[in-house]
Structure 1
Amino acid sequence: MDADAGLIREMHENYVCVLADPEARPELGLLAARLSAERNHAVQFPFIAWISYEGNPVAWLPLRPRDVEDFASVWENSHAMVSKIWSESPRYVIFNSRRDNANRTTHLAMGAEEPVGRPAAMEAALDAAGRIAALYDPASSSIDGSGGLVPLTAVNFAATVALDPATPPGLQSRLTRLVEGLGATILRSPVVDPLDRGMFVGRRAEGWALPVFTKDAGTQSAASGAYARSHALTGSREFLAGAESFATVNETLFGEGGEGIGDYLALLGHVPDGRGFLWTQERLKELLSPDEFDVATAVFGISGLGNIPAESDPRRFFFRRNSLGMARSLAEAATTLGRPEAEVQALFESARRRLLAQRRELLQRAEHLIFEGTRITAVNARHARALTALAQVTGDRAHVERARKVLDYLKTRHYSEDGGLMRIAAGTRHEGVAARGEDYALLLDALLALYRLDLDPAHLHWAEALAAETLAKLGDKDAILLETPPDDRFGIFPIIHDAMVFGPSTWGTIYNPLGQLQQLGPRPEFEALLAAIRSRLVPALEKDHPFIHTDFAAGVLAEARGCLLLLEGDPEEAVFREMHQAALAPEFDGIVLVHLVPGLPSAFQLPEPTSGPKARIRRHGEDLGEALTAASLQQLLRETLASE
């Protein structure tokens, strides 16, 4: 587009043109999704919207890949249509767009006719888990309806529900099969890049052989968290290795320049024939030594005709090309080749480095690669949350320190001078962007997850202040949570983030941490928001594809436990440490944990600490018992959950 001076001139002569970044302002992506849904179109980017001077959408167009390649003619047709409507009846355009937008705003303000209680929400969440298990197809190793997305949230949710001792055994078994089958398929497929060990954002077509050649930090965090949870369920070393690898990729691939991690690594423009990602057998022979080629062939399943199946490439556009995935493990390849595993591993590493260097050279030479290194609060909070999941299943304190370092970075760098959270901190060459709903929700989730591990009350104080700021800046008169502060909104209409369109939703993500704070100290404003979310999302969970509400469903199941574990004593004492470690078992994730010490937030309504070490468990304000050892605590917790 930038090479067509005539097109650029025509755009600026007829319109006030604004280039908007949905990464910096995610409400624009949500706006595009909502407008696309009105026309029964899937949202795609780039996305063009014509907006009236009043801030009302007049027309919009999601651009498909072929539209981008032929943008000049697409623009000509669209511009002619909009110009014609405007020239014939500008008053009609203004009136209609104003009325349509008023209807959208009214629709957003409408909630369910009846409140939805916690028991009904829990029933809906368990039903959603059962529907996800039913949608899993072992033959294709996919979840029907998940499209091109890698269903990491579904895997995480399935593992979470299967780990819960209160889940019916039949459902546990079905969900475990999903996690084992789908988790292994994704991890061994070309969607996981064996060259830099990162995960691509999705797949292009049926099957898992053709990825979308883009990586982002959010996908690595989601993958790390999902595979950590899957390891907790299955004990799979392969899953644990994947979880640790994805967290490391976030820091090595997106952590350039020191503190925090950036956003995404993408391809700019078309990469001919998948160059740098898809390889012919002949080209691999040229690049690798004979021994390296033999190992690559055994591991990746290289073929002279290509290894991409017809269902992934029905038009055979990538005929004779091979995508790279771990079709065989290194141990299996060693057996196939009849060579020592250590030798195969060394040859694979040298082949991997050689191919990765070739890819980088190809993409840099063609100027196809773009790295967006902007530090975004939500992106970093998701990374910290993934590190806490790793710390929980490994017991490795190094992961705790990594998570703490990320959150310390956000605390020191992502607040404005007046003390408000920022999505993007102001820099020397750009203005800052105020925090959005997903920033608040993901940061709250990360803070409370880290508190479970290190019991630092500073995290609780920060979480309390953050929750209050969230409601003050994003709450509205209907007790719902908006995605964008009203004074920083891009016109149009109030935006809500109630479904997992591009990742975790604000409403779904914030439900669990807000519910935890409510258990520690009931507040009417928290209860009103939790009730408003339930009244709107439980009907959606029952009606929509459950895939897009698993963050909310997981929060509902955690909140339904209604259990509070009070730890007392000196963290340096062995008995205390053992009880704390026992309480961190994934099966007890739905239980809110707090260490009774002086100086907790004043809003918490907790008993004064007594002599320790010991643990007390309460449900809905009623004391159920206490334990003095790790073994007795585990027994008490299991009995409590089983008695629901």
Structure 2
Amino acid sequence: MMLKYGTYACLAAALALIPACRKREAASDKHAATPQIAAELSTNAMQAGPQGFLSSRAGSPVHWQHWDPAVLQRARAARRLVFAFIGAAQYPGCLESLDAIDKDPSLVAKLNQDFVPVLVDIDLCREAGVAAGVMSQELKQPVSFPFILVLSPDANEVTWRPIAYSQGADLRQMFEGATDVISRMWAESPDYVEANSKRDHDNRMKRLPVADTSPANPEERNAMMMRTTRKLANLYDEDIKSVFGTGGLLPLGLMQCLASTSLDPNTPPDIARRCSAAVKAFSGAVLNSAMVDPLDGGIYSSRRGSSWDLPMINRTCMTQARAARALATIYNATKEPRSLDVALGAIHFAEEQFEAQNGLFAAQRLPGLTPMGDWLWTQEQLEQALTPEEATLWKAISGIKAMGNLALEADPKREFFRLNSLGFRVPLAQAAADLNLSTEAAAGLLESSRKKLSKARQSRVPDRAPATAASAGTSFRMVSAYAAMFTATGKPEWRDKALSLAERSRQTFAKGVLLVEQNPGTPDAVCDARAFTYALAIQAALDLAEITMDENWRLWAGDLCSTMSELFVDESGRLLEARQVSTPLALPLEDRIMLFDDSTAGVMRMNIARLEALGQSPPPTLAPWLSSLPKFEDFPVVFTDSILAASFAASRVIVEIPENASPEWREAACRLPLDRVARRFGKEPAARILQPDGSKIPVTSPESLAASIATASN
């Protein structure tokens, strides 16, 4: 059971004393009244839940409730604890655990009779995932899902633990380990459990991070940034093709940060070279591994074990869009065509797999289980699907072997013996040369065999049904992906896609000054947009403002910042992830570290810096985020989004063009990269570049604009 030792000992001692004092307590116990069971607790609310992870449990015998403050009132009236099952469809073990609960009548009865069971999708209610991260830190364990969090009716945290699901695991034993002792204590003395959990909650509140501070002067700030950047660059281990501290997540933020830093004129040359070398080596290793599917171009967000050759096979639209935006920055820094090719492949995969109603995008396809073994290949399966020449090429490219191509670090338990993953371990040109083929002939074999392998895999692992409900965060992410592709390729069709999607997204997800997470946006509390979605919407609006030079998008970004300032910033200056009217949690939680890749704090730091560069001051309650820095020197890998924002704020250049500038000038400004350059209209009659030190460099022609920026930066 995941209680702090002191809590466990106190509760155990209290349990021993209960028989002697129970009669005395009974008269004053505030829980002595007859329980009142609300009608909602006798039905499964997921029958009307948002599409996806929640609606997948519509047929469950468990009386699941929504993550809504109203569950606390029902729990109080029913004299029950709240049992929150926190997860999402893409995390292995979440669907399997829920299936196992449904099949166990005793677990179903215990949840329905002893608790108020609540099902939480962290793709909609991000603060619950942040809470799991905070509670896991107390256990000195990495966060994982599914995660069980038990709350008192007063919203105090009582007990918590991750569920390490595995095939054949005794889920009842894990469940009872998480709840049995505390449920018995609650039955005996709920007042004591309430008081004890309240003390723990109050102490937890005192340990929550305080607002970040600003360096005393620019010199101190620059020194701190340089120490952090050097440490980041040194985290790359060339021998194992990985970065220390990134765990199993695809470190898109880290690669984007290092790529941008390599272009920063404030970066010392030795660090810039190290950053550039790390980006080229690491992105080359990862982008040619099984993390990029060679059949459909989709990108996997995390891996199993410690090798990039065995990914977690659930893919989301958010990962594709995030990857495309990061890879555009990497392409700008390295000019490696593979980065751009993978970005384009990810976007095409997203369009094929996740497009939903009205051209918007769903977070993922409808939930379902896919055995990992079915996703992999035996040598015989590959040979049966292909001609001998095609099979020979794939054996060379992916290292296909009869015994399997997964190294021990990828599959230490040998669960996938004789199975192979597909990836470009050997570049096509090299494989062609090794097989005495021309590059053109090898490319033809590759294309024909891709179609055959896709069909063969589809027969084993059919695509899950597409989702029809669109996601706000995912759709805004795709706007930014399209904008990044416009700046990387210069092709106007990407800008057209960004603009069209943004207009539809704003029309669909903006309800007055508020945003909703999903359309249709019911129930209200679950679909009330979290701070991260506002941050993504602001980012998308700023991207559009810069690739169209349309001030209306900058103004909308500013309006959304004002909404965040008014509704999400508390009296202590915390940027809360959820409005209190929409979450049962009493903890004022901020998304400050990269627990799920980008954090709300990191994206908002960049948004505020970009707004300021465009000439718009941030709201007063958000202004401190422009100059403050997190304490990222000890473990910078979880703050790379904030580091990227701080680097932009310190060294960005601003391109000013006249308001009556010609279409050629506007187009030249719009095509500049998004991460290091801001562009805006100025009052001067000629175009110019404003440097961070205040100096101004005139630009003589649209054709020379990009070169002038590069010269100014150097």
TM-score, with structure 2 as normaliser: 0.80
Candidates 558, 564, 578, aligned match of 1:484: 578
- Please state if 1:301 is matched with 2:402: no
- Please state if 1:223 is matched with 2:323: yes
2:356–2:470 CA contact under 8 A, matched in 1: no
- Please state if 1:160 is matched with 2:248: no
2-side partners of 1:252 and 1:119: how far apart? Answer: 49
**Aligned match of 1:628:** 700
2:397–2:426 CA contact under 8 A, matched in 1: yes
**Aligned match of 2:307:** 207
Q: 1:333 to 1:619 in 2, by over 3 A?
A: closer
- Please state if 1:512 is matched with 2:601: no
What does residue range 31-110 of structure 1 map to in structure 2 within 5 Å?
A: 31-66=131-166, 69-108=169-208, 110=210
1:124–1:538 CA contact under 8 A, matched in 2: no
- Please state if 1:592 is matched with 2:669: no
- Report the alpha carbon displacement of residue 183 of structure 1 after superposing the two structures with TM: 0.6
2:479–2:501 CA contact under 8 A, matched in 1: yes
Given residue 499 of structure 1, which amino acid in structure 2 is its aligned partner?
Answer: I
1:565–1:618 CA contact under 8 A, matched in 2: no
Q: 1:370 to 1:119 in 2, by over 3 A?
A: farther
2:513–2:563 CA contact under 8 A, matched in 1: no
2-side partners of 1:216 and 1:68: how far apart? Answer: 27
Moved more, 280-289 or 451-460: 280-289
- Please state if 1:403 is matched with 2:494: no
**Aligned match of 2:461:** 363
- Report the alpha carbon displacement of residue 421 of structure 1 after superposing the two structures with TM: 1.7
Given residue 656 of structure 2, which amino acid in structure 1 is its aligned partner?
Answer: L
Q: 1:122 to 1:426 in 2, by over 3 A?
A: farther
1:84 aligns to what SS in structure 2? helix
Specify every segment of 5 or more residues in structure 2 that has no aligned partner in the other structure, as ranges: 1-100
Candidates 549, 558, 575, aligned match of 2:648: 558
- Aligned-residue Cα RMSD (Å) equals 2.8
1:231–1:240 CA contact under 8 A, matched in 2: yes
1:422–1:435 CA contact under 8 A, matched in 2: yes
Q: 1:571 to 1:422 in 2, by over 3 A?
A: farther
- Report the alpha carbon displacement of residue 625 of structure 1 after superposing the two structures with TM: 4.9
What does residue range 31-430 of structure 1 map to in structure 2 within 5 Å?
A: 31-66=131-166, 69-108=169-208, 110-111=210-211, 119-265=219-365, 268-269=368-369, 271=371, 274-364=372-462, 369=464, 374-416=469-511, 418-426=512-520
1-side partners of 2:395 and 2:119: how far apart? Answer: 45
Q: 1:374 to 1:62 in 2, by over 3 A?
A: farther
Given residue 701 of structure 2, which amino acid in structure 1 is its aligned partner?
Answer: T
**Aligned match of 2:80:** none
**Aligned match of 2:624:** 531
1-side partners of 2:638 and 2:497: how far apart? Answer: 30
**Aligned match of 1:614:** 687
2-side partners of 1:143 and 1:453: how far apart? Answer: 33
**Aligned match of 2:48:** none
- Report the alpha carbon displacement of residue 530 of structure 1 after superposing the two structures with TM: 3.7
**Aligned match of 1:568:** 658
Q: 1:625 to 1:152 in 2, by over 3 A?
A: closer
2:562–2:619 CA contact under 8 A, matched in 1: no
Specify every segment of 5 or more residues in structure 1 that has no aligned partner in the other structure, as ranges: 597-608
Q: 1:335 to 1:585 in 2, by over 3 A?
A: same
**Aligned match of 1:449:** 543
- Report the alpha carbon displacement of residue 524 of structure 1 after superposing the two structures with TM: 7.2
- 1:501-550 deviation digits (Å, cap 9, x = unpaired): 01211111111221232344464734x52425754x432x123x211111
Given residue 567 of structure 1, which amino acid in structure 2 is its aligned partner?
Answer: I
1:192–1:198 CA contact under 8 A, matched in 2: yes
- Report the alpha carbon displacement of residue 6 of structure 1 after superposing the two structures with TM: 2.6
- Report the alpha carbon displacement of residue 86 of structure 1 after superposing the two structures with TM: 2.4
Given residue 615 of structure 1, which amino acid in structure 2 is its aligned partner?
Answer: R
1:508–1:551 CA contact under 8 A, matched in 2: yes
Q: 1:296 to 1:630 in 2, by over 3 A?
A: same
2-side partners of 1:471 and 1:332: how far apart? Answer: 55
Candidates 633, 639, 647, aligned match of 1:542: 633
Moved more, 218-227 or 626-635: 626-635
2-side partners of 1:641 and 1:23: how far apart? Answer: 39
Q: 1:407 to 1:74 in 2, by over 3 A?
A: same
Q: 1:25 to 1:121 in 2, by over 3 A?
A: farther
- Report the alpha carbon displacement of residue 459 of structure 1 after superposing the two structures with TM: 0.9
- 1:296-331 deviation digits (Å, cap 9, x = unpaired): 222221111111111212222212111111122333
1-side partners of 2:176 and 2:606: how far apart? Answer: 48
1:215–1:264 CA contact under 8 A, matched in 2: yes
- 1:252-308 deviation digits (Å, cap 9, x = unpaired): 12114441111125874461xx33321111222223232332222222211111111
2:514 aligns to what SS in structure 1? coil
Given residue 471 of structure 2, which amino acid in structure 1 is its aligned partner?
Answer: I
Give the count of matched residue pairs. Answer: 614
1:279 aligns to what SS in structure 2? coil
- 1:478-508 deviation digits (Å, cap 9, x = unpaired): 2221111122122331121111101211111
2-side partners of 1:118 and 1:350: how far apart? Answer: 57
1-side partners of 2:221 and 2:527: how far apart? Answer: 35
Q: 1:520 to 1:389 in 2, by over 3 A?
A: closer
Given residue 228 of structure 1, which amino acid in structure 2 is its aligned partner?
Answer: A
2:395 aligns to what SS in structure 1? helix
- Report the alpha carbon displacement of residue 563 of structure 1 after superposing the two structures with TM: 4.9
2:149 aligns to what SS in structure 1? strand
**Aligned match of 1:606:** none
1:118–1:556 CA contact under 8 A, matched in 2: no
1:50–1:59 CA contact under 8 A, matched in 2: yes
2:264–2:647 CA contact under 8 A, matched in 1: no
1-side partners of 2:475 and 2:604: how far apart? Answer: 16
1:19 aligns to what SS in structure 2? strand
1:436–1:484 CA contact under 8 A, matched in 2: yes
Moved more, 516-525 or 399-408: 516-525
Q: How high is the sequence identity, in percent, across the aligned residues?
A: 27
Moved more, 562-571 or 135-144: 562-571
Given residue 108 of structure 2, which amino acid in structure 1 is its aligned partner?
Answer: I
- 1:10-59 deviation digits (Å, cap 9, x = unpaired): 21111111111111111111111111111112211111111101011101
**Aligned match of 2:21:** none
- 1:576-599 deviation digits (Å, cap 9, x = unpaired): 247526xx544x943432124xxx
- 1:343-390 deviation digits (Å, cap 9, x = unpaired): 4333323322222223233234xxx95765642222222222222222
Q: 1:25 to 1:308 in 2, by over 3 A?
A: same
- Please state if 1:474 is matched with 2:574: no
**Aligned match of 1:600:** none
